[in-house]
Amino acid sequence: MDDWQKAGKIAWQALNYGKSLIKINENLLEVVEKIENEIIKNNAFPAFPVNVSINDMAAHFTPNDEKDLIFKENDLVKLDVGVHVNGFIGDNALTIDLGNNKELSKASQLALNEAVKLAKPGTKIYEIGSVIEKTIKEFGFNPIRNLSGHGIEQYEQHSGLTIPNYNNNDNLELEENQIIAIEPFATNGVGLVQDGKPSNIFKVVNVKPIRDNISRDVLRYIIQEYKTLPFAKRWLLKKFDSFKVNFALRNLERESILHNYPQLPEKSKGLVSQHEHTIMVKDNPEILTKE
């Protein structure tokens, strides 16, 4: 089994383990740390911090030092889990409905199922977006137009290829053995996200010299441990004290060395569901994020 398949299998196992943990009154921070620890126990590493985006929050929410956050009745939880093995990434997501939003969850799930069938050489990008849009709208919901699936390469979770959730008229064709993530988002809102608060999920975007010793030490550790993959502030707090972490992150962000991902709420505060698989493009598409 190659590293793509290993990462995909462990990601799928971690996602389903996480699904079993998400219940009313469970603590968010404890849940995400259990999932991340489970990944490490399986001789892999998180490709990004586990995301648990709730209700109108579509993406980029992970708890940091908030120890009092719990899952509540009627929450609609998007669990997004990524795993890497030697930089080869499995990225998958599902929605846990703690209320009465089964149809919204089903819309993104069936859109994913239909889209995966098209992950073949020669398929045009817009064709995938078109089937996602059609499936979600048949349920009476909207796809989120400014969130998309993406290509994946070693140590690059988003490699540049965009897999839309609507017909964007892109005639680019998929190629054999490309690795792509397809991730439909469905909403009862207008179908757009906007930038929210900082997530405290960071990524190195520009390596350059930095003067002060604290920032230099923290940056060295980030590059050594995470390379070009996203990481959480809370991960650094296991290595450095809070003063050093806050000081370094502030400096590194100001110097445009780090990007701090914004949280992404739905623009009209609509509820959002999400499902995602990582797929190898073949005549018979290979879902990597599976048992």
Does 1 score more than 80 pLDDT?
Answer: no
CA atoms within 13 A on the CB side of 60: 21
CATH of domain 199-262: 1.10.10.10
Query: Would you call 252 helix, strand, or coil by DSSP?
Result: helix
Q: Cα 46 to the chain's mean position, in Å?
A: 11
Q: What mean pLDDT value characterizes the chain?
A: 97
| pLDDT at residue 67, rounded to an integer | 84
- Pairing, β 185-187 against β 179-182: unpaired
- Give per-residue burial for 40-56: e unless 16+ CB within 10 Å, then b: eebebbbbbbbbbbbbb
Helices (H), 83-124: 102-116
Point out the residues that are catalytic.
80, 91, 150, 158, 183, 276
Per-domain residue ranges of the chain: 3-195+269-287, 199-262
| pLDDT at residue 253, rounded to an integer | 97
pLDDT tier for residue 65 given thresholds of 50, 70 and 90 = confident
pLDDT, mean of residues 23-37: 98
Contacting residues for 254 by C-beta, under 8 A, at least 6 apart: none
Query: Is 3-195+269-287 assigned to CATH 3.90.230.10?
Result: yes
| pLDDT at residue 97, rounded to an integer | 98
Closest CA to 81 of 30, 132, 16: 16
What CA–CA distance (Å, rounded) separates 235 from 73? Answer: 29
